[in-house]
Amino acid sequence: MKQEMISKEKNLETIKLTYEASEFEPIVMAEINKASKDYQIPGFRKGKAPKGLLRKMLGEERLKAIALEELLGKSVNEIVNEKETLIFPAIENIEYDDDGGAHATLKVHLKPEVQLPDYKDIVIDKFIANEENINDMIDERLKQLQESNAIYEPKEGEAQFGDSVRMSYTIQNEEGRELYNQEPKEYDLFEDDQRDIIINCVGMKAGDEKEYEKEFSADADGNTSGKEVAFLYKLKVEEVYKRITPELNDDFAKEVKEVEGETLEEMKANIRQEAMDAFDGTIKNALKNQIINGLIENSEVDLSEETKKRFLESSIESMKKDDSYDTEREKHDSDEEFFEEIIDANVDNVKKIYAIAKVFDESGEEITEDSFKEYVERMAPSWGMSSEQALGFIEKDKDVKARIGDALMQDIVATYLMDKCTIEEKELPTKEEEEDAQEQAEKIIAEVEKTAEKIEKDNNE
């Protein structure tokens, strides 16, 4: 086999593969020998039919096609092993020569070279908590502790917001068939909980029963009927309780187990530290995310138009397979806009993979078994697992383990770049500033809507 470079455009190499007739013959003969063992030809014992007869029966074109497929497969695998490819090579323009040979064109999409930015050009915002933010966090935590340590006392009379009820309920469809039966269970009646079963409990007494109908549109979550349906809810309140939240004092501080402190002031001081630690952790994660996003945004890769086209075709094919293509297409004004977004997303993914890998190599860090385990143990609580559960789950799934490895590499890269980027400190807005900003945004939206209505009216006239 002979290779000839026809052209090179950015990361795309176009290679001509040429095969001599003599390269086909060993494969053709192997196929004939295989057929001789597998087929019984009338007039000949199995395995004894003349090779020339078998060759004619199998067909010269078919045998050459089989041989060429094997030769091309071998050549492509060699090239993939030899070169670092981005996507699998594409075979094009297969032709046979008059002398019995053949040639084909191979499009090889190589890993692109990544141009990393000057790290100082990656600008990230580090938000600093003001005293109002911290005090809000302390107040919220104290309220949470009060709620979780509330005392419940049986109550006569109607349930009100702030109370609790022990309630059971059933759900029936339009034909009267029972779809769900909830055994008696405690429900806290909070005013911001707008579930129908909560709202309908307000005003009920112990022993009261109530029915109400709830309609679901044809496209409502969980409605698989494809039409509007109505379900009948039957509630029964078993008991009503008055929820008594404890007072914030030194006795409360001594009794609460979640936060240490012999006095209320000590408890508040520990909550403050807890809040600061939580805030610092949140800020650190936000910084890391900004660093990775900034690295991707400021890095450059030079991809050929042919590579981008392959990305587009592959993405469209995937979306059509999972029936998401039409839904995603409808979100865009034109095919051109939709396709450009798909290509940009693929290019960003390439930049992410190779830019992170390049900076990781630059950092000189390694992912060892110990560092992998330490990362999993650190992240396990945020996954809702113990470290033992997380490690056991990951060991059973290689794909998950690979994704965790990628996340760890990303974490290492972000940490490595932390003191190399430009960090701009900004104080978080106060509630008053947030309300002013919201008010301004609403005014702008109102003006835009008013202008749009005027334009539409003028056009109609």
pLDDT of 437 reads 65
Could you identify the residue written with the tokens 């019984």?
40
Which of 132, 214, 140 lies closest to 170, judged by CA? 214
Which tokens is 177 given?
């068939």
pLDDT of 298 reads 94
> Per mean pLDDT, which range of 140-154, 197-211, 311-325, 442-456 is the poorest?
442-456
Q: Is 223 left (phi over 0), alpha (psi -120 to 50) or beta?
A: beta
How deeply is 332 buried, as exposed, middle or buried, from its count of CB atoms within 10 A (0-12, 13-18, 19+)? middle
pLDDT of 227 reads 81
Edge-first strand order for the sheet with 102-110 is 2-9, 12-19, 102-110, 85-96
Which tokens is 429 given?
């807005």
Q: Is pLDDT above 60 for 48?
A: no
Which of 89, 243, 251 lies closest to 152, judged by CA? 243
Q: Is pLDDT above 90 for 233?
A: yes
pLDDT tens profile 261-289: 899 999 999 999 988 888 888 889 999 99
Neighbours of 9 (CB within 10 A): 13
Q: Is pLDDT above 80 for 223?
A: no
Which tokens is 260 given?
């240490």
SS3 at position 116: coil
- Entry pTM: 0.67
Q: Percentage of the chain with pLDDT > 70? A: 90
Range 41-66 average pLDDT: 71
CA distance 140 to 158: 29
Q: Which of 21-30, 246-255, 425-434 has the highest mean predicted lDDT (pLDDT)? A: 246-255
CA distance 115 to 100: 46
How deeply is 295 buried, as exposed, middle or buried, from its count of CB atoms within 10 A (0-12, 13-18, 19+)? buried
pLDDT tens profile 344-354: 999 999 999 99
